[in-house]
Structure 1
Amino acid sequence: MTTFGVSEPGSQSPRWLLGALVLFIAQIAILHFMGRIPICECGYVKLFEPGVNSPGNSQHIADWYTPSHIIHGFLFYGLGWLVLRRAPLSARLSLAVLIEAAWEILENSPIIIDRYRSATMALGYNGDSILNSAMDTVSMAIGFFIAARLPVWMTVAIAIFFELLTGYLIRDNLTLNVLMLISPVDAVREWQSAL
């Protein structure tokens, strides 16, 4: 399979796959020691939480932010291709899991939770459950493998579709989330709050 104009290395290294798994388990353990709840406080697990500003958002297996994590996988695949071009795909996956796990830990720290509450549309955000955070990393890995298999143009088309779809349905997406987290725009906040 040719992606990003070169052939993927044919062999996978089990030690890199093990490294990715260890990073994933470390993410879960760190979130546990940070005091994150394992599952939704409601006491049950849903496959998909449709409410954006509901107490169940970021608590179940998937939600409207799952496409953003799939796009993370697309982006991290591209980064791995740029910086680890000659390394096996499993080494690039380990890099992707490292970045995603680090973000999930940071995202669930008090400073970022408070920033989400003050600067984005996530006014009642209390952080992710461990289940949701783990599934965000799994979603990123799915996106990573999609990007490894599809032509670049198709990966870009899927990312644009996800951004437009979630932007239309919930007035939020990866682009808006990053913008509002880093440099909030009052006009965007007003538009999002009209949902």
Structure 2
Amino acid sequence: MSKKARPFVATALVVLAAAAILWLMGRPLTYKGGLIELWGPVGAKQSQMLLDWYSASHVVHGFLFYGLLHLVAKRWQPGQKLLAATLVEAAWEIVENSPVIINRYREATIALGYRGDSVLNSVSDIAMMIAGFLVAARVPVWASVMIVLVLELISLAIIRDNLTLNIWMLLSPDDAVRAWQARA
């Protein structure tokens, strides 16, 4: 295997390892009864199917990780940067689906019935981050900023949630924001 290919193979192995860890943690592979659909709308199927409204936030992760690694790891090869970003995203998917974070979402956000992600959805979330990372690597900075803003604003307008609000509400819940989100 070539030296250039190693980080990409390692990236694929990280995704597989994350899926295995999530399954060993007791996360369901798919939605009830093995149902697999492309889109999981807000409700019981959200975070269970291949894509949902929060897929956009994982694309934003990719843009942010690319920007950060472009600044702090200038000498790394593209595959090494992608591997690092995938490790962070996979670690987040594992932490996000731990009982403590699932309960935090239920307590601090509007996600009262949140059960965590299916393994399918978590793997898709990692793939969405990779997609965002790869797009960020190919477009100018101004385009990256515009794409992130558009994704955040669309999610905000449609489901009254996005990556920015998600982080805000996890770290410092605000009753006024929660009440506004609940009106969606």
TM-score, normalised by the number of residues in structure 2: 0.97
Match of 1:185 among 163, 166, 174: 174
**Cross-structure match for 1:143:** 132
Q: Deviations over 1:64-98 (max 9, x none)?
A: 00110000000111121122211110000000000
The ranges of structure 1 where at least 4 consecutive aligned residues each deviate by more than 4 angstroms after the TM superposition are: none
**Cross-structure match for 2:40:** 49
2:120 is equivalent to residue 124 of structure 1: no
Q: Which runs of 5+ in 1 are unaligned?
A: 1-10
Q: Deviations over 1:45-79 (max 9, x none)?
A: 111122x2x11000000000011000000011112
1: CA distance, partners of 2:87 / 2:34: 30
1: CA distance, partners of 2:147 / 2:9: 29
Match of 2:14 among 19, 23, 40: 23
Do the aligned partners of 1:163 and 1:173 also contact (CA within 8 Å) in 2?
yes
Output the amino acid matched with 1:19: A
Output the amino acid matched with 2:51: A
**Cross-structure match for 1:174:** 163
Match of 1:39 among 30, 34, 57: 30
Question: Percent same amino acid among aligned pairs?
Answer: 51
Q: Which runs of 5+ in 2 are unaligned?
A: none
Look up the SS of the partner of 1:115 in the other structure.
helix
**Cross-structure match for 2:51:** 62
1: CA distance, partners of 2:71 / 2:143: 19
TM-score, normalised by the number of residues in structure 1: 0.91
Look up the SS of the partner of 1:18 in the other structure.
helix
Higher strand share: 1
Q: Which moved more, 1:80-89 or 1:67-76?
A: 80-89
